[in-house]
Structure 1
């Protein structure tokens, strides 16, 4: 043969002996009675062991450690949604999960509150939002004065106040895609979900992302811009947070490390102007050290 002609005879004979020692398939088949068939397969040992590893799944015990005040049925619905789409949501490593939930903890609190509240002090409205700096009387009218939630007129804050505050805070914000105060977009597209998704543009982008991944939920054709309150339901609360996480490239930051630097990088994308950078670092360290989602 060609290989025989190209190989010096002594070397060829040694190689032939080596090969003959490996030809033991017939012996294996003959000495393993009871097998359903005589076929023999090569299996890589590392690959074989990997097949027996338990795939990570969120559990109620894990979630209750992080969100002890949340309703059990809400947590279970969140768990079901996350577990069904772990890879698509890029929550497939311990560091990604720890970074993700460090942010969720800050956005929703220990009770997993998935809808933004608007009980604001009048002075804080003026300090925080340009609309109320231009219209301080609106802050006085709708925000509480000293004792939460009592306003300057002695009455408690109500729905009218909450909507006015949301529209003042978020109305006319080009980066959010919202119309002006009168449009009502600030209230309609207030923060919802595990990440508190905010603004018409973000709800629209979430809808497009949902459509792009339609094979993950083939029967679930929804438009979040038309139906923003869907994000208050646990299933969509989880999905909206995962959308923001993936669409903004946050898993790649999480992959770079488990230090305050990475937490702060992620926080700057989630909520750049927040005063809770240190709190989010503390959230991460708590989750990471305890190994809540390992």
Structure 2
């Protein structure tokens, strides 16, 4: 870039203060006659000063820099006080979260509000690092449904140690025929009764009595007849508790038409239980555990000296005791896995949860975290509506301060956000815009009269 001035006569510049010229390279002064430099206090020569920055300073929200606190979590879930269990869980992961947060994009008020809203739901309001297993017989997760199917070898082998708790065989006189689990396994595969699989794995209370609404009865599954068409015996489904390992193994096993892409083996591999939701964000599926391990093995977490870990590896000589338990047993890995997923986990519409948070799209953030649990969407949204309020992460305050103190680009961003909130009938956003309009009334464009 160059600057040239051609002046036909004299150039006189009168300045009350200083005149300073800066150049990255040379400054040349040429004259056809002579150059005269005079100064009342003399002429000095020395090292050049640094030139002033040409860019306007960018506003930085101090609240974006603030650390997470248990009080912010309490307000997000909307309780008057935290339980002892909640305090214990929060105290265990909070130091890690604050240590890692800037490296993993939790550096704006908006992102922090969305992140806390999601992990609050995932961790059952900060009470656990693992997915619960106490499902009822109405579970519809994965292949489970309310439709009848013929009992098969996968079901009886998965429940092989629980069959006596689930089924009852009664003869024609109403006397129970006692059988072992192995005997029931053979018997059920021979008789092939129709069952609703969720009633076998989840907690089943029994069938409602037709006469007494408070009473529950064993459910008749099949009557087996003799050659003369009289009843030989009956197969009943008994009331029973939930069976966690088989249930989770079936819920997260692949099935025809499964679009979840969890990377698990079949039900009998027990992958569904091993890689059920664990961590601060309930990371689910062998594939996600593998991806987290790969990420962690290539990227360091501040002050973590535990080295590379394969989170899918089994403990030798022990059943269901592998490294996958570290995500639910250790707060550090529980936090690390959540931060990995926030940035690089499952995408929704090709964007991560963090990217959707930047657009303040709570629905898309929720679907990036877990698009299959549609029933939880209202709870996630309720968490966020509390988190964005004054006294919590106060998102409107962030944009108000940006509007007041930011450069032109930031002011534009702030106005666009507040206008979006105005469209949602956000009274606080409306007031901020009105106050700004009073302080900075828009200049009306001058219009020239039209010559007729």
| TM-score interval for Structure 1 and Structure 2 normalised by the shorter chain | 0.7 to 0.9
Cα distance in 2 for residues equivalent to 1:89 and 1:3: 45
Residue 358 of structure 2 corresponds to 255
Cα distance in 1 for residues equivalent to 2:202 and 2:88: 34
Query: Judging changes above 3 Å, is the alpha-carbon distance between structure 1 residues 289 and 192 closer, same or farther for their aligned structure 2 residues?
Result: same
Structure 1: stretches of 5+ with no match in the other structure: 24-38
Query: Judging changes above 3 Å, is the alpha-carbon distance between structure 1 residues 7 and 143 closer, same or farther for their aligned structure 2 residues?
Result: same
Cα distance in 2 for residues equivalent to 1:266 and 1:3: 51
Cα distance in 2 for residues equivalent to 1:219 and 1:18: 63
Query: Judging changes above 3 Å, is the alpha-carbon distance between structure 1 residues 48 and 206 closer, same or farther for their aligned structure 2 residues?
Result: closer
Residue 392 of structure 2 corresponds to 292
Query: Judging changes above 3 Å, is the alpha-carbon distance between structure 1 residues 142 and 50 closer, same or farther for their aligned structure 2 residues?
Result: closer
1:111-130 Cα distance to aligned partner (Å, 9 max, x none): 431111111112x13x4442
1:96 correspondence with 2:111: yes
CA shift, 1:22, in A, is 3.9
CA shift, 1:46, in A, is 7.2
1:137-165 Cα distance to aligned partner (Å, 9 max, x none): 65333321239xxx9645544xxx21000
Answer with 45-54 or 182-191: which moved more.
Answer: 45-54
Contact 1:82 1:89 in 2 (8 A): no
Query: Judging changes above 3 Å, is the alpha-carbon distance between structure 1 residues 153 and 212 closer, same or farther for their aligned structure 2 residues?
Result: same
1:84-127 Cα distance to aligned partner (Å, 9 max, x none): 122332111111111122222222222431111111112x13x4
Residue 193 of structure 1 corresponds to 279
What is the TM-score of this pair, normalised by structure 1? Answer: 0.75
1:179 correspondence with 2:265: yes
Q: CA RMSD in A?
A: 3.7
1:170-228 Cα distance to aligned partner (Å, 9 max, x none): 12367100001111101110110122111000000111121232264562322222211
The higher-RCO structure (CA 8 Å, 6+ apart) is: 1
Residue 28 of structure 1 corresponds to none
1:120 correspondence with 2:135: yes
Work out the number of aligned pairs and report it.
265
Contact 1:112 1:194 in 2 (8 A): no
Residue 231 of structure 1 corresponds to 327
1:163 correspondence with 2:245: yes
Query: Comparing both structures, which one devotes a greater share of its residues to strand?
Result: 2
1:268 correspondence with 2:354: no
1:118 alignment partner, SS class? coil
Contact 1:104 1:194 in 2 (8 A): yes
CA shift, 1:51, in A, is 11
Cα distance in 1 for residues equivalent to 2:244 and 2:312: 21
CA shift, 1:59, in A, is 2.1
Cα distance in 2 for residues equivalent to 1:103 and 1:53: 20
1:62 correspondence with 2:72: yes
Query: Comparing both structures, which one devotes a greater share of its residues to helix?
Result: 1
Cα distance in 2 for residues equivalent to 1:137 and 1:229: 31
Cα distance in 2 for residues equivalent to 1:165 and 1:119: 9
